[in-house]
Structures are given as structure tokens and as C-alpha cells.
Amino acid sequence: MQQEEPQSPPTGAPDQAAQIRTVLMRLQRRQWWMWSSAVLVTLLLTLAIASFAFPGLLSQAESFTSFALDQSVRGLVGLVLLFNVYTIYQQTQIHRIQRQMSDQVDAMGKMEVRTEEVYKLAALDALTGLYNRRCGEQRLASEVLRAQRTGRPLTVLVLDLDGLKTVNDKFGHPAGDELIRSFAQRLNKAIRGSDLAVRFGGDEFLVLLPDCKQDEVRCVLGRLSGHTMECQGMSVGLAFSAGWGTLEAGESPAALLKRADDALYVNKRASKQATGTNAVVS
């Protein structure tokens, strides 16, 4: 299975900010619709009252009745106008609050973007996009505690690229960086989603394999072997050396890592004696 791309802390705030914006837009549209409907109904009501009152005002009825009807119509129209003014005032206040909320949401979104950028700088390797050494060591400590608590296996795999110096000398350091990136991408595809790939430094990589027995590591190495990359019209092999160790009872993270690292250097010495092969020593 292919490992999932490194993710930032699951805050969910950017999605929440987008949902808040959507709700605010819907609320604003509904408020304008209600306000427009209220104004339209008020105008129609005023016109209806005026149409009924107008014949009475023009008739030759008694002066008191005409005066009372005239005052009633004017009072009703005044109340309607006051209601409209109050409605406009309330709508203005609501729009002001909406603008303030929108500004706060925008500020929150910008803060989340900055937080994600800082997280990437602190947790991810800039060249490969894998986790960096600091995060790898922290995750190793937590995985060791988990394995000791549950009794499930934990395997640590250490990888080192062979011939990187030759590529740098022959094609330049940009080609060497591309070799590291290509190997990192291949490594990311070779492991499971529950595994963790780390660029430990330079051309050295660390892979944490929870719930993985020692004999199952060869499946991962098999998916990594035999690949090449094109460099200035030439094919360059992604050769590597590997060493690994499975956590033993009471073993510390540092001791487990050292045991896997020692196996790596045994393998590198063996690979120098057998050029073109990638023997694996556990």
C-alpha cells in the first residue's frame, strides 16, 4: 500500500472557516430577501389603506369623521414608516456584525495557513517532503512505547543510498538532489499507510514499520529494488544499502536504532565487495 502524504495537524479550521463564510452568505441573502419582502408588503399595505381612505377624504361627510379618518390614516402610515426605519436600522447592525465575523474568519484562515507553513517547516524535510529527523525520533519513541504496551512487533529499517557522491561529482549536486527525491518518492510508494518514512539526514532514510515482522521487510525492499532515474540522458540506478532490527523486550529506541544502523554498515561493506548487488543484512 502506498503511504499517505504527510498531513498537518487535524485542526479542521480551514474547512470550518469556509463553512462559516457559506452560512454568512446564505444569511445575508435571506435577510435581504426578507427586508425586501417587508418593504414591498408595507408599500402595498400603505397603498391599499390610502386607496380606501382617499374616497372618504374627498366626500362631503361630516368634518369630524373626515378628520378622524385622516388622522387614522396618517398615524398608520407613520407607524409603517417607523417600522421600516427600525427594520433598516436592525439590518444595518446585522450587516455590521456580519462584516466583523467575516473579517475574523479571514484572519483565522490566514492564521491557519501560517500555522500549516510553520508545521511543514518544523516537521517535514524540504527536499523530499518526508518527515524530518526530529519528528522521526519522536515517532520512534512513541511507537516503541506502543509496541511495548501492546506486545505487537515493531521493525526499524535504515536505508542509505549508494553512489550519491559519484552522481554529485559526475552530474552535479542538483542531480544528486533529484536522486534523493526520486528515492524518497519510491520509498513512499513502497510502504503502507501505517508506516512512517523519514529522511534521517543526507542520503540516509529511516522507516518505521509497526506490526511488521522481520521477515516481512524483504517485501518492502523488493518494491524498492531495481529502479532507475534519467539524468542528462543517462540511466542512474537507485542503489541502496539497508539494515533493520525488530524491537526486543525492554529495548530502548536508541538501542533499536543503533542495532539497525550497525546492520546497515555491515551491508554497505558487503555491497562494496559485490558491486551491482543490494544484499541485505539484518
Instruction: Give the CATH number, domain containing residue 265.
Output: 3.30.70.270
pLDDT classification of 99: cutoffs 50, 70, 90: confident
pLDDT classification of 252: cutoffs 50, 70, 90: very high
pTM as predicted: 0.60
106 catalytically annotated: no
Task: Say what the pLDDT of residue 2 is.
Answer: 42
Shared-domain flag, residues 244 and 168: yes
> What is the domain count for the chain?
2
Task: Say what the pLDDT of residue 237 is.
Answer: 81
Q: Which of 125, 160, 162, 203 is catalytic?
A: 203
Shared-domain flag, residues 228 and 249: yes
Mean pLDDT of 72-87: 69
The answer as to whether 3 is a domain residue is no
Candidate from 15-19, 24-28, 108-112, 135-139 with smallest mean pLDDT: 15-19
Task: Say what the pLDDT of residue 6 is.
Answer: 45
More confidently predicted of 53 and 144:
144
Write down which residue in 72, 101, 123 finishes a domain.
123
- In 3D space, the residue among 213, 207, 124 whose CA is nearest the CA of residue 158 turns out to be 207
Which range, 20-34, 43-57, 95-109, is most confident? 95-109
The answer as to whether 140 is a domain residue is yes
Shared-domain flag, residues 267 and 137: yes
The answer as to whether 52 is a domain residue is yes
Asked whether 176 and 168 are in contact (CB, 8 A), the reply is yes
Q: What are the C-alpha distances in Å from 1 to residues 128, 153, 245?
A: 19, 19, 22
Q: What is the CA radius of gyration of the chain?
A: 37
Shared-domain flag, residues 148 and 117: no
Backbone angles phi, psi at 171, to 5 degrees: -115, -10
Write down which residue in 95, 123, 151 finishes a domain.
123
Asked whether 144 and 256 are in contact (CB, 8 A), the reply is yes
The answer as to whether 29 is a domain residue is yes
Residue with cell 456580519: 98
Amino acid at 211: D
Task: Say what the pLDDT of residue 121 is.
Answer: 67
Range of the domain at 104: 13-123
The answer as to whether 280 is a domain residue is no
